[in-house]
Structure 1
Amino acid sequence: MTAYQTLLLDRADGVARLTLNRPDKLNSFTTEMHAELADALAVVAGDTAVRCLLLTGAGRGFCAGQDLGDRAVAPGAEAPNIGESLETRYNPMMRALKALQVPVVCAVNGVAAGAGANMALACDIVLAARSARFVQPFCRLGLVPDAGGTWTLPRLVGPARATALMMLGDAVTAEQAAQWGMIWRVVDDAALRDEAGALARHLATQPTRGLALIKTALAATWSNDLDAQLDLERDLQTVAGATDDYREGVRAFLDKRPPTFTGR
């Protein structure tokens, strides 16, 4: 396990388990946590043995967003440049997360608010405990949703729901999030850790390169027209068809046996 002050990073069986670890503060973001997240995501990206990332939070919440105590402003003092915080910390974090060439599973336990919610929703497959809540509280502070929220949420739930959630700051239950397509599935609180771990271990045995190419295709579909997407599918399929895992998949199908993928 890699030693951090605000995170836990454990790698085993092809899965990197990254746990936000400030439970007394609902795992809210600080400057220190951002620095450690940048390092941890770089470690995951550079480890060829990692074939899936599982992201979760310690304690009773996933992540409450920014720790406002880390941004406290004394009376009469100059206001902090929050845009600079996004440019140097939040935006690089989200780009690094989305750039990972492995599946990213998020297990949301308890509250996911603000940038914590948007970080969770940016993951590839999201499981939520039945007690989980997703909140966009920026409107209560006079701020704009960040960490990619204004890009991600409308694509998940549509513009009408995204607008209301961001302008009203209402909490969305795990069940409602699943019904609206914000997340993949709701599980009982006691089962979240085991089910998320089993899902991550399964993905770590799958054709990793092919899954990464699926991520590339899905990311492009929002800006491509049909012709461009068809061309992209052709190009990505050319890459996928040259992998060892494709050859193994075909051999296993013909041999009527389970495939053994290596991620190459």
Structure 2
Amino acid sequence: MEFENITFSVDAGVAVLTLNRPQTLNSFTVAMHQEVAAAVAMARDDATIRCLLLTGAGRGFCAGQDLGDRAVAADDAPPDLGDSVEKYYNPLIRNIMTMAKPVICAVNGVAAGAGASIALACDIVLAAKSAKFVQVFCNIGLVPDSGGTFNLPRAVGLPRAKGLALLGDKLPAEQAEQWGLIWRAVDDDQLQAEALAMAAHLAAQPTRGLANIKRLLNASFSTPLHEQLEQEKLTMRELGRSADYREGVAAFMAKRRPQFTGE
């Protein structure tokens, strides 16, 4: 399908989804939500795609919701923001976090509001050193959505999460790395190259194994130890019968590069 608010391309198993409304710092409208949802579904369902890279065009990654798309005048009926969250943001976060493939986020500029939350829902986050993460919800009387109250404290701990969410301070990328919010801050001119190289590496790895690593780590925060141990056992049993495991062992023994298929 053709897109107007994003770009989407696939090469060698890597899908690149770029938010493409740079004039508004890639803030979300309903139209962009619909296009992003379609592209994420394509990345999820296409077996030839083995890694998704999410980034933004221009000087920002994503400024969250485009408030002009649902501007509220004083005499208007109150909007149902929960409806917007339910229809658009929550399905996107679920699709990113449950996708059985790695999702990388390359934060090329400011990530604010839901934009920051969407970045944190991805599996590995790289950020340009000039990028900043901002929890702006407190400035307009709202709460962090799009999984923000879930992923933020898990990444940086409750005290720092409260400070960021209650004060709305800008968190520079290098400090975000130091706090454990992201994987790495890189020089601005190296961000795209590093993100693509990482995506290419992950696309060549044993996909089913990576998917289960992601699944088990995400589940670990709410799963009792005995159940987590049981899930590890069952997953090891399943993956030990996979073609990728046999290929990995054979390649190790033969001292050659493995050729994983994800089967």
TM-score, structure 2 normalization = 0.98
Q: Distance in 1 between matches of 2:238 and 2:14?
A: 24
Structure 2 unaligned blocks of 5 or more: none
Q: Secondary structure at the match of 2:62?
A: coil
Q: Distance in 1 between matches of 2:94 and 2:223?
A: 20
1:228 equivalenced with 2:247 (yes/no): no
Q: Secondary structure at the match of 1:237?
A: helix
2:256 matched residue in structure 1: 257
Let me know the Cα RMSD of the aligned residues: 0.8
1:107 equivalenced with 2:106 (yes/no): yes
CA contact (8 A) 2:117 2:148 kept: yes
1:196 matched residue in structure 2: 195
Deviations 1:219-250 (A, max 9, x none): 11101122111111001111211111000001
Deviations 1:45-88 (A, max 9, x none): 11100000000000000000000001112331102100111111
Deviations 1:69-117 (A, max 9, x none): 0111233110210011111111111111112111001100110001000
Question: Which runs of 4 or more aligned residues in structure 1 lie more than 6 Å from their structure 2 counterparts after TM superposition?
Answer: none
| 1:88-167 matched pairs, under 5 angstroms | 88-167=87-166
- 1:122 CA displacement: 0.9
1:73 matched residue in structure 2: 72
Structure 1 unaligned blocks of 5 or more: none
Supply the AA of the counterpart residue of 2:65. Q
Q: Secondary structure at the match of 2:159?
A: helix
Deviations 1:124-146 (A, max 9, x none): 01000000000001000000110
Which stretch of structure 1 is more off in the superposition, 237-246 or 134-143?
A: 237-246
2:12 matched residue in structure 1: 13
Q: Distance in 2 between matches of 1:217 and 1:68?
A: 36
CA contact (8 A) 1:208 1:263 kept: yes
1:62 matched residue in structure 2: 61
TM-score, structure 1 normalization = 0.98
CA contact (8 A) 1:213 1:240 kept: no
Q: Secondary structure at the match of 1:89?
A: helix
Deviations 1:144-186 (A, max 9, x none): 1100000000000000000110000001000110001000001
1:182 equivalenced with 2:181 (yes/no): yes
Q: Distance in 1 between matches of 2:237 and 2:22?
A: 46
Q: Distance in 1 between matches of 2:156 and 2:68?
A: 32
- 1:118 CA displacement: 0.5
CA contact (8 A) 1:3 1:9 kept: no
1:29 matched residue in structure 2: 28
1:172 matched residue in structure 2: 171
